[in-house]
Structure 1
Amino acid sequence: MTLTQSRRSGGRAARHALRSAPLAENVRPVRGGMTGGTLKALSDDEVLRIHKAALTVLDEIGLADAPPSGIEIMVNAGARLGDDGRLRFSPALVEDMLGKAARNITLYGREPAHDLNLSENRVHYGTAGAAVNMVDAEGRNYRHSTLQDLYDAARIADRLDNIHFLQRPMVARDLPDNLELDLNTLYACGTGTTKHIGTSITEPANAQACLDLAYAMAGGEDAFRARPFVSNSNCFVVPPLKFATESCQVMEACIRGGMPVLLLSAGMAGATAPATLAGAVVQAVAECLAGIVYVNAIQPGHPAIFGTWPFVVDLRTGAMSIGSGEQALLTAGCAQMHQFYGLPGGAAAGASDSKLPDMQAGWEQMCSNVMAGLSGLNMVYEAAGMHASLLGFCHESLILGDDIIGQALRCLKGIEVTDETLAIEAMREVCMGGPGHYLGVGETLARMETDYVYPFHGDRTSPKEWEENDKPDLIAGARARKEAILAMPCRAALNPALDREIRARFPIKL
């Protein structure tokens, strides 16, 4: 090696060490809660037309299959029960409940550093879904997902800067009993990360036990109600325009138990929602507006996320096409509707139809993640790790997704234009008696970490350096990082005495 090569290598090592040192939160180039909203997939007139269409759907078509308790709650609030069993909602009722709905809510982490401020157009990326398989990226095959896989995903997400929350991304298929599944899912997520977690509850009879477990993990019911670190992901509707009876009963219990809820409407354009993108948004908005009436008739101002999650069907085959440009547009349009109502909202982005973390996965994940962020979506669900149209989850892809989201957040940050960033003085310094380039000057060094985002795994070396480095492989690098993370002590582990108490009360299998 020549002296010149040695110096270059040493300089690279020093720069790498500088980049590896954690930056203070206030000077990081990207972080959770940055403000989006510069992308407008819909004009103001189109937003208003979608709103009016949703009100017409609720007033004239309504929703079927509410549980008896829900019918009583919503009729007492002003909904009309027709002879056909459908509940209908007048525009006046919807507007009244919108006036009572919670705004500017915070979703709490077990640690305050992970609190999520959902005001205005603040953007947060995280996981979600109910994948039933794990992607073995090395063996290029699929297997059933387990409780250990879920716990490992939580532990990995806890260490990734650009994953801001963890909603259960997979089903523990080694737990066939629904109560054990619900309790262990909550436990695995909540002891794997101190970030906010979201989970589902399979049946109404299990809701109180899950609330009791959440209370125990928080140190008591009052402590949980003060800072609920768990939200209930609730598919309260079965599109098109029907309530999911048992899920609604779960939702009622969670509201009374002090747990925030995600009102999740997941129609599929061309199958369980209209084939037009505008129609799919209208139906999702109408269903979630019915959810707003339901929630606020039970408890005015209860924290609820407006979860319009319309998906897309490939009309040639009937298969889901969650990695499509149409999906990205649907999510961006839904974000505008959330902002129109001034409600905290969430939708799906960042998932892929590809079976493995490959080039297809990369373009699909980046497209919708960038558009979701630019549209100002508060909660970007399924933003990393999800493959095969939501059927498979991949730990390595979760890790690589952290890099993708970092770049999406940098797009969201945009271009800062100030007297300083216009850089006239820097040009004067460099060009008038200076070195003639900007490498190494004070302004460049000062901006190196605050203005630029560097991928952890992305390779920016020359072909020569790449070859000298033994042609590093992205998946192998992500696997090595996964193993390193899982070898570290778990930062979210409960106090041992509390953990023993919980295990004595609940059937914890982890």
Structure 2
Amino acid sequence: MTDMSPRRAGGRAARREARANPLVDELRPIRAGMNGGTYKPLAETDLERIHKAALRALEEIGLSDAPASGVRLLTEAGAILGDDGRLRFPAALVEDMLAIANRSVTLCGRDPVHDLDLSGTRVHYGTAGAAVHVVDVDTHEYRDSTLQDLHDAARIADRLDNIHFLQRPMVARDVTDNREMDLNTIYACCAGTKKHVGTSFTEAAFVPDALELLHLIAGGEDTWRARPFVSNSNCFVVPPMKFATESCEVMEACIRGGMPVLLLSAGQAGATAPASIAGAIVQAVAECLAGVVYVNAMAPGHPAVFGTWPFVSDLRTGAMSGGSGEQALLTAGCAQMHHYYSLPGGAAAGIADAKLPDMQAGWEQMCSNVMAGLSGLNMVYEAAGMHASLLGFCHESLILGDDLIGQALRCVRGIEVTEDDLSLEVMRATCLDGPGHYLGSDHTLTRMQRDYVYPVLGNRASPKEWVEQGQPELVPNATARKNSILAQPSRARFPAEIDADIRRRFAIHLS
């Protein structure tokens, strides 16, 4: 029977001590890769109808603008090139390629502790996007993003428990040569975090140099191919229903180099995708199915993420509205389609239309992040830091997003109902033999660590205590934590001899 004897002395100290001792990973209340999938906005019959509509779109409409290499690969696999230049995909071809697609993808970190298992409904949150501005929370100004800003974002993300991967969240606008920008992006991200990194390439011609850089970081090509810790975020389509010629060539080069790919379809409902939520999902699914055929025609079983990534428009203006409830529904519906195919998938959530980390940003980011997690989305991209519908990135918002995602992950975990969870023996001991409350009990102390998530910066003090604390505010506290993190050396920095080799071979802009 649980000990329910009164603990008048030392109770608060005991609770503080319990909280100070970190739990082993499997006992933590939240962690990367927890299973979602409890939220399902689409019925089973809806999933089937979307699948059949996507197959019809591929067979009857098809996609245009594939590069010559892609036309050759796809027609040899069974696609049909029409007189109008569009490639059409028979349903049997799509089903055949789905049958050989990789369903057990693991995205590796440079440190294996950060590996991401994308099977089933396992959920991971991280950054993404290509913001061209950084949000200055002090002046409320948007300035051009720099390579140092990107490196700082990587260093911050490396220290945040609930940010599980770093896909490049902003463009290094101070590096004007595209080749050098692509290479320095990899350097800045990998020198800042040992978590999995996602990046893009401007041209296929830049990929061999990027692979050489990655081989240097990994310690050799064989080591890289065994555990590729960078993936290619590839917008291989230009919605509606066109291949992005240059991006497809990049994708082919990355596949040859052993790099996992994110097949990213990013239509905008009401602009480059149908305005209806179901229609936007149908088009995104059709385009990504074309990507599955493309990848597996070239390299059967190559690791690829099914990146249905449709966005929402504010139909009054045509502007993107990433913080809307419609966006949250789109993302959750896409996650269900990933599970329908049993494919590892990713989509966008956590985007704020708000320009600053304020109350609007909070509700916008929380709504889609919670729904994405509950739907079991494997890779929740753009989950923290993104403002102004992807135009601005904010380091403070990234830090606040770690707290926000912690609460979202607790929702993903859900409610366990074991015999111990039902707590009848604890109730009996408390009410019949004990003090009549649960404060300080062994059961409470245990659950305090294993069941409850506590914000790092979110303030739960009473108004009186808050005044005694000096009336702390979220954003200034986030700035203080940012400065504290950036005052420490990067835990991911390269050994001196490897860094010297890299700098001899490439023009690295970070000092």
Q: TM-score range by the shorter chain?
A: over 0.9
State the partner residue of 1:335.
Answer: 335
Report SS of the residue matched to 1:503: helix
Report SS of the residue matched to 2:307: strand
Matched, 1:281 2:289: no
Deviations 1:71-108 (A, max 9, x none): 00100100000000000000000000001110111000
Check 1:185–1:16 CA distance in 2 against 1; reply closer, same or farther (3 A cut): farther
After superposition, residues 294-305 of structure 1 pair within 5 angstroms as 294-305=294-305
Report SS of the residue matched to 1:347: strand
Using the aligned pairs only, state the percent identity.
72
Distance in 2 (alpha carbons) for counterparts of 1:67 and 1:156: 39
Distance in 2 (alpha carbons) for counterparts of 1:73 and 1:14: 65
In structure 1, give the amino acid aligned to 2:231: S
Deviations 1:458-480 (A, max 9, x none): 11011111111111010111111
Distance in 2 (alpha carbons) for counterparts of 1:18 and 1:174: 47
Report SS of the residue matched to 1:198: strand
State the partner residue of 2:220.
Answer: 220
After superposition, residues 59-78 of structure 1 pair within 5 angstroms as 59-78=59-78
Give the superposition deviation at 1:141: 1.2
State the partner residue of 2:144.
Answer: 144
State the partner residue of 1:500.
Answer: 500
State the partner residue of 1:466.
Answer: 466
Matched, 1:132 2:132: yes
Distance in 1 (alpha carbons) for counterparts of 2:39 and 2:104: 21
Distance in 2 (alpha carbons) for counterparts of 1:85 and 1:120: 37
In structure 1, give the amino acid aligned to 2:206: N
Check 1:11–1:429 CA distance in 2 against 1; reply closer, same or farther (3 A cut): closer
Matched, 1:482 2:451: no
Over aligned residue pairs, what C-alpha RMSD do you find?
1.4
Distance in 1 (alpha carbons) for counterparts of 2:73 and 2:160: 42
Give the superposition deviation at 1:13: 7.0
In structure 2, give the amino acid aligned to 1:187: Y
After superposition, residues 108-507 of structure 1 pair within 5 angstroms as 108-507=108-507
State the partner residue of 1:53.
Answer: 53
Matched, 1:101 2:76: no
In structure 1, give the amino acid aligned to 2:397: S
In structure 2, give the amino acid aligned to 1:221: E
Q: Is the 2:312–2:327 Cα contact (8 Å) retained in structure 1?
A: yes
- Matched residue pairs, number? 504
Distance in 2 (alpha carbons) for counterparts of 1:187 and 1:355: 29
Give the superposition deviation at 1:360: 0.4
Distance in 2 (alpha carbons) for counterparts of 1:13 and 1:357: 35
Distance in 1 (alpha carbons) for counterparts of 2:498 and 2:491: 15
Deviations 1:481-502 (A, max 9, x none): 1111111121101111011001
Give the superposition deviation at 1:21: 3.8
Deviations 1:416-437 (A, max 9, x none): 1011110000110110031011
Deviations 1:412-455 (A, max 9, x none): 00011011110000110110031011111111111111000000
Give the superposition deviation at 1:18: 4.1
Deviations 1:264-291 (A, max 9, x none): 0000000000000000000000000000
Distance in 2 (alpha carbons) for counterparts of 1:277 and 1:166: 28
Segment of structure 1 superposing worse, 126-135 or 429-438: 429-438
Q: Is the 2:15–2:445 Cα contact (8 Å) retained in structure 1?
A: no
Deviations 1:201-238 (A, max 9, x none): 01111111111111111111110100000000000000
Report SS of the residue matched to 2:166: strand
Distance in 1 (alpha carbons) for counterparts of 2:426 and 2:320: 51
Distance in 1 (alpha carbons) for counterparts of 2:178 and 2:228: 23
In structure 2, give the amino acid aligned to 1:345: G
Distance in 2 (alpha carbons) for counterparts of 1:115 and 1:326: 31
Check 1:479–1:135 CA distance in 2 against 1; reply closer, same or farther (3 A cut): same
Deviations 1:380-418 (A, max 9, x none): 000000000000000000000000000000000001101
Give the superposition deviation at 1:14: 6.4
In structure 1, give the amino acid aligned to 2:308: T
Distance in 1 (alpha carbons) for counterparts of 2:113 and 2:446: 26
Distance in 1 (alpha carbons) for counterparts of 2:104 and 2:124: 14
Segment of structure 1 superposing worse, 479-488 or 257-266: 479-488
Normalization by structure 2: what TM-score?
0.97
After superposition, residues 21-36 of structure 1 pair within 5 angstroms as 21-36=21-36
In structure 1, give the amino acid aligned to 2:414: G
Give the superposition deviation at 1:22: 2.8
Check 1:13–1:503 CA distance in 2 against 1; reply closer, same or farther (3 A cut): farther
Distance in 2 (alpha carbons) for counterparts of 1:214 and 1:323: 35
Give the superposition deviation at 1:161: 0.2
